[in-house]
């Protein structure tokens, strides 16, 4: 995520709707010869590609994880029985402020914790009941800011009658120069952890993906063993179908982020393919790399995203009148939308 705080997925999915306004901004920037100050900000760090390390051309600029090699502390927070302990009186007030009614939607919890980051100085990420707070820890000022934010979150929990499961709240210290500062949540000191799961990804203090690769291979190996002992057919079509549906997703989960960094990690993952090849009767001598590559190649499509709901809905949303898009509440939006759709028919 860049300095603007907007996730790249948002920009990618709304590309069609944003193209018009951005083209106007680009044109005016070109005509005036001025570049907006916000466009000059970026979080970039050089990543080594190949050959001579002293040559700047052999480095690739990539969004940085640890800013300028500074120490970063990440606090993983966990609510105690989050969905079952939400006070309905407070939830109803927050839903009312958003123009929504009480229903079984999982979005309601996101609305309930929407004001959790009010006044927070460091960076906070929220995904349902998954909360992550991170900040620079290379100075006393940064450490104190992170502690103040933890105090604010504890205060928010008290006001909203929620509790943190402090035994599950952990700190991950990133960076070689990290001093391992201790932090308190309420009256309890939080424990440090050598590795933490971040939305299914196992990340350690060195941002090393070896543990994640080993964990993915272990899961895939167990499923492959179940296939071996429960499926009698050794047909190529059957094994490849089961492998693609049940085993391969574990090996490819978040592969853009956790791509193997070391040869040993690559060997661990390839071992799974080798085991799967041995399940195919009569194909034991075929190169497993070529076999599974061909299987994947047949399923790969570039146009699969055009069927996604977000991709399909943007075009229709752009056709709606301005009063529908800018409706102040859900009830007003529904009323204006019904009127607009009736005029279109």
Mean pLDDT by 10 residues, the chain (345 residues): 67 81 79 72 54 54 47 87 80 78 68 85 83 87 91 91 88 84 90 83 78 87 89 81 85 70 82 81 57 41 49 68 82 83 71
User: For 191, left (φ over 0), alpha (ψ -120 to 50), or beta?
Assistant: beta
pLDDT at 146 (0 to 100): 92
Report pLDDT for 189: 92
Interior CA angle at 133 toward 132 and 138, to 5°?
135
Question: Would the CA dihedral through 132, 138, 142, 147 be positive or negative?
Answer: positive
**Partners of 171 in the beta sheet?**
75, 192
Distance separating alpha carbons of residues 177 and 9, to the nearest angstrom: 32
In eight-state DSSP terms, residue 70 is -
- Structural domains of the chain sorted by starting position, each given as residue range(s) with its CATH number in brackets: 1-64+306-331 (no CATH), 68-196 (3.30.70), 210-299 (no CATH)
Per the CB < 8 A criterion, the answer to whether 71 and 146 are in contact is no
pLDDT at residue 299, as a whole number: 39
What DSSP character marks residue 79? B
Pairing, β 201-204 against β 130-136: unpaired
Give CA torsion, residues 143, 149, 155, 160, to 10 deg. -150
For the chain, the distance separating the N- and C-terminal CA atoms, rounded to the nearest angstrom, is 41
The conformation of residue 247, written as its DSSP 8-state character, comes to: I
* Pairing assessment for the beta strands 195-198 and 59-63 based on DSSP bridges: unpaired
Q: What is the pLDDT of residue 304?
A: 44
The CA angle 112-118-121, to the nearest 5 degrees, is 140
Crossing angle for the helix pair 288-299 and 263-278, nearest 10 degrees?
A: 80
Question: 108 and 90 in contact (C-beta within 8 Å)?
Answer: no
Pick from 205, 120, 131, 125: nearest CA to 165: 131
268 burial via Cβ count (<10 Å: 0-12, 13-18, 19+): buried
* Pair of tokens at residue 313: 């809905």
For residue 43, give both structure tokens. 């979080």
Cβ(210)–Cβ(264) under 8 Å? yes
**The tokens of 50 are what?**
């190949």
Distance between CA atoms of 259 and 210, rounded to whole angstroms?
A: 10
Q: What is the DSSP letter of 246?
A: I
């Amino acid at each position: 995520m860049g300095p603007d705080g907007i996730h790249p997925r948002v920009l990618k999915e709304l590309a069609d709707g944003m193209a018009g306004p951005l083209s106007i901004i680009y044109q005016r920037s070109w005509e005036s010869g001025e570049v907006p100050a916000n466009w000059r900000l970026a979080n970039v760090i050089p990543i080594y590609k190949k050959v001579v390390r002293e040559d700047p051309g052999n480095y690739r600029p990539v969004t940085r994880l640890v800013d300028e090699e500074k120490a970063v502390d990440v606090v993983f927070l966990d609510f105690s029985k989050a969905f079952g302990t939400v006070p309905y009186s407070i939830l109803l007030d927050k839903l009312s402020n958003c123009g929504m009614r009480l229903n079984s939607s999982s979005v309601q919890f996101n609305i309930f914790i929407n004001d959790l980051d009010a006044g927070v100085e460091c960076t906070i990420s929220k995904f349902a009941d998954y909360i992550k707070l991170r900040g620079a820890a290379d100075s006393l000022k940064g450490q104190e800011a992170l502690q103040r934010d933890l105090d604010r979150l504890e205060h928010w929990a008290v006001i909203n009658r929620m509790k943190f499961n402090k035994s599950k709240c952990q700190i991950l210290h990133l960076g070689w120069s990290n001093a391992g500062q201790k932090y308190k949540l309420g009256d309890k000191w939080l424990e440090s952890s050598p590795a933490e799961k971040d939305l299914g990804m196992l990340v350690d203090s060195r941002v090393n993906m070896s543990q994640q690769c080993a964990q993915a291979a272990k899961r895939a190996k167990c499923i492959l063993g179940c296939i071996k002992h429960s499926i009698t057919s050794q047909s190529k079509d059957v094994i490849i179908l089961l492998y693609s549906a049940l085993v391969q997703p574990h090996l490819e989960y978040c592969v853009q982020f956790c791509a193997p960094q070391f040869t040993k990690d690559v060997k661990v993952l390839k071992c799974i393919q080798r085991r799967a090849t041995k399940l195919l009767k009569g194909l034991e001598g075929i190169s497993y790399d070529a076999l599974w590559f061909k299987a994947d190649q047949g399923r790969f499509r570039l146009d699969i995203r055009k069927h996604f709901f977000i991709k399909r809905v943007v075009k229709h949303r752009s056709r709606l009148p301005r009063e529908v898009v800018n409706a102040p509440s859900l009830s007003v939006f529904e009323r204006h939308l019904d009127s607009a759709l009736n005029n279109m028919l």
